[in-house]
């Protein structure tokens, strides 16, 4: 698919955030070429005046130089709340790198969420920020399913990038999201990544808006045996599956020697310690409030 790119001028790249992990959200782009079929951030389209489908356009943000960045010392910036800051166009426009360069030495803290190994380009710059954290979204080890859902880099490349950051002493997060009932093997992903990360997030698949019918249609066509389960969860609004998975993951983590908690990633551990597993199955209201705030970015 051809990606339509255009540059836009914005007053600021910073948006105050309601996310529990950040004071500010940073999104150097609007739109995302990954075109994830389950992307909750597709709501952003209504603020862009783009007639093109979500996933086929990217607006590249240019902002005035950030003056006196030291006034943000101690503040937490979450880079990539509604777009991937390291999607392919970053290779050319380098707007994420521009933000990092402007804030370098300010004393702020950064968390980066991506599905790309392009983030490795900036590893030396990221290392200069205190307590930096880089999160990689991995919701399957099945490359065929991954390609059906998004246009990001391969699972192998994501895991390799996460491992490289971890080896360099930068805290990493394995973000198992969204969990597709009956398809995402959380246990296998945790076993594959637990020695390459400091934190593991678990987030359920939420279906709302235009992509609900897209995903349910995909399940009915490609995994008809799971159609009754998805009907229970997403049409009849039954949450039993997530409660059962919660108990299952709690037992699994106990057997693996991993701490397991709900809706709170504030637990700190030594860098070399096994990762903490955080269940975010039941936090829809937090996310809904945060995305409304980010829509103003």
Assess if residue 230 is contained within a domain.
no
Residues 6+ apart with CB under 8 A from 76: 21, 22, 23, 24, 108, 109, 110, 111
Instruction: Tell me, yes or no, whether 218 lies in a domain.
Output: no
Which pLDDT does position 265 carry in this prediction?
79
- Spell out the per-residue pLDDT of the chain, length 297, in tens: 689 999 999 999 999 998 777 999 999 999 999 999 998 777 777 777 788 888 889 999 999 999 999 999 999 999 999 999 999 999 999 999 999 999 999 999 999 999 999 999 999 999 999 999 999 999 999 999 999 999 999 999 999 999 999 999 999 999 999 999 999 999 999 999 999 999 999 999 999 877 899 999 999 999 999 999 999 999 999 999 999 999 999 999 999 999 999 888 777 889 999 999 999 986 554 444 444 444 444
* pLDDT value of residue 290: 43
Distance CA 41, CA 27 (A): 12
pLDDT at 54: 81
Is 122 a member of any domain? Answer: yes
The parent domain of residue 175 ranges over 4-206+239-294
Domain count, the chain: 1
Within a domain: 213? no
d(CA 251, CA 8) in angstroms, rounded, equals 49
Between CA 150 and CA 158, with CA 194 as vertex, the angle to 5 degrees is 30
Question: What is the structure's pLDDT at 284?
Answer: 56
The confidence score (pLDDT) of residue 283 equals 58
Please write the tens of the pLDDT for every residue from 144-184.
999 999 999 999 999 999 999 999 999 999 999 999 999 99
Give domain status of residue 222, yes or no.
Answer: no
- Write down the pLDDT at residue 294: 46
d(CA 110, CA 119): 13
Rounded distance between C-alpha atoms, residue 137 and residue 88, angstroms: 16
| 217 assigned to some structural domain | no
Residue 225 lies in a domain: no
Beta bridge partners of 277: 200, 260
Question: What is the pLDDT at residue 211?
Answer: 87
Is there a contact between 68 and 16 (Cβ–Cβ < 8 Å)?
no
Write out the DSSP string of the chain.
-PPEEEEEE-S-SEEE---TT-SEEE-SEES-TT--TT-GGGGGGGGTT--SPTTSEEEEEE------GGGGTT-EEEE-SSS-TTSTTHHHH-HHHHHHHHHTTS--EEEEEES-GGGGGGHHHHTTSTT-EEEEE---S-HHHHHHH--S--HHHHHHHHHHHHHTT-EEEEEEEEE-TTT--HHHHHHHHTTS-SEEEEEE----TTHHHHHHHHHHHH-GGGHHHHHHHHTS---HHHHHHHHHHHHHHHHHT--EEES-------TTSPPEEEE-TT-HHHHHHHHHHHTT-
Classify residue 78: in a domain, yes or no.
yes
Buried b / exposed e along 224-247 (16+ C-beta atoms within 10 A): eeeeeebeebbeeeeeebbeebbe
pLDDT at residue 291 in the model? 45
Q: What is the pLDDT of residue 236?
A: 94
Q: What is the CATH number of the domain that holds 245?
A: 3.80.30
User: How high is the pLDDT of residue 182?
Assistant: 97
């Amino acid at each position: 698919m051809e990606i339509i790119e255009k540059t836009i001028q914005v007053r600021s790249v910073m948006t105050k955030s309601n996310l529990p992990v950040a004071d500010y959200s940073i999104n150097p782009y609007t739109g995302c070429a990954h075109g994830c079929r389950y992307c909750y951030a597709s709501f952003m389209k209504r603020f862009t005046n783009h007639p093109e489908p979500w996933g086929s356009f990217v607006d590249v943000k240019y902002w005035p130089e950030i003056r006196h960045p030291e006034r943000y010392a101690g503040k937490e910036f979450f880079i990539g709340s509604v777009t991937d800051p390291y999607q392919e166009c970053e290779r050319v426009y380098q707007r994420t790198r521009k933000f990092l360069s402007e804030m370098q030495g300010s004393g702020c803290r950064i968390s980066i969420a991506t599905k790309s190994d392009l983030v490795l380009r900036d590893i030396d710059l990221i290392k200069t920020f205190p307590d930096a954290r880089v999160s990689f979204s991995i919701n399957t080890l099945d490359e065929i399913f991954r390609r059906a859902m998004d246009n990001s880099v391969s699972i192998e490349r994501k895991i390799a990038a996460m491992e490289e950051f971890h080896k360099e002493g930068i805290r990493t997060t394995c973000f198992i999201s969204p969990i597709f009932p009956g398809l995402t093997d959380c246990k296998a992903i945790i076993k594959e990544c637990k020695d390459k990360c400091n934190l593991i997030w678990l987030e359920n698949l939420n279906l709302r808006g235009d992509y609900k019918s897209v995903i349910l249609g995909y399940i009915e066509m490609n995994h008809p045996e799971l159609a009754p389960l998805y009907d229970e969860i997403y049409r009849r609004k039954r949450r039993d599956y997530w409660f059962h998975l919660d108990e299952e993951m709690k037992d699994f983590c106990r057997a693996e020697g991993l701490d397991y908690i709900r809706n709170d990633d504030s637990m700190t551990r030594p860098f070399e310690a096994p990762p903490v597993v955080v269940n975010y199955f039941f936090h829809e209201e937090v996310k809904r409030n945060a995305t409304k705030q980010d829509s103003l970015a």
